[in-house]
A and B are shown apart, each in its own frame.
Chain A
Amino acid sequence: GENVEQHPSTLSVQEGDSAVIKCTYSDSASNYFPWYKQELGKRPQLIIDIRSNVGEKKDQRIAVTLNKTAKHFSLHITETQPEDSAVYFCAASWRGTGKLIFGQGTTLQVKP
């Protein structure tokens, strides 16, 4: 069945460093890949997404890359700040199903 694997499960970086979170998916028909940020006790919020016809997308300090051949995509956060500390989820949407399958989440801690 559909599956999304996310690594690492926890990530600790110093303020100003970069952070990278990686996800792999199982269905080659997937065509939409969003990333959500969830702060403690809050709802998931979309921070960036990428579609299957694009290889990379940037929005200020965050970027997402997609490798369809290898079936993996990554979130890159540069110049990390303490407010970036949160749980990040990747997801993949399966064409024609209306479903998002989520990864297990990565807890990012940015140390001041």
Chain B
Amino acid sequence: NAGVTQTPKFRVLKTGQSMTLLCAQDMNHEYMYWYRQDPGMGLRLIHYSVGEGTTAKGEVPDGYNVSRLKKQNFLLGLESAAPSQTSVYFCASSYIQDTDTQYFGPGTRLTVL
């Protein structure tokens, strides 16, 4: 049981490049989330999903797209990376909405030059 995993762990992009971050969980969780973490700003929710085939916007969705084609995977895409998207990205998942624990992945450190 690996829990929540994220790939890649590190990535450097040039402005305007695109990439996809993959989050996978093997806990059969319905809910999955993407956060970004910036110094002094805590964790901010980008997008989330309440089940396979569904997605919803969080606090800071602009510049990102997501897809949840399979229950165990949640993909975060950057179509045209900007330096403001330099951050650490965390994926999380949970089983029961609202009151259950969110389990976090190890994070992806993204630098956009």
Contact = CB atoms under 8 A, between A and B. Distances in A.
Interface of A: 6, 9, 31-32, 34, 42-46, 49, 51, 89, 93-105
B40 A105 contact: yes
B105 A99 contact: no
B58 interface: yes
A97 B98 contact: yes
Given A31-B99, A32-B98, A99-B58, A43 B42 contact: no
Contacts of B94: 98
Contacts of A101: 45, 59
B23 to A, nearest CB: 12
Given A104-B40, A105-B40, A43 B104 contact: yes
B19 to A, nearest CB: 21
B101 A104 contact: no
Contacts of A103: 42
B105 A51 contact: no
B101 to A, nearest CB: 5
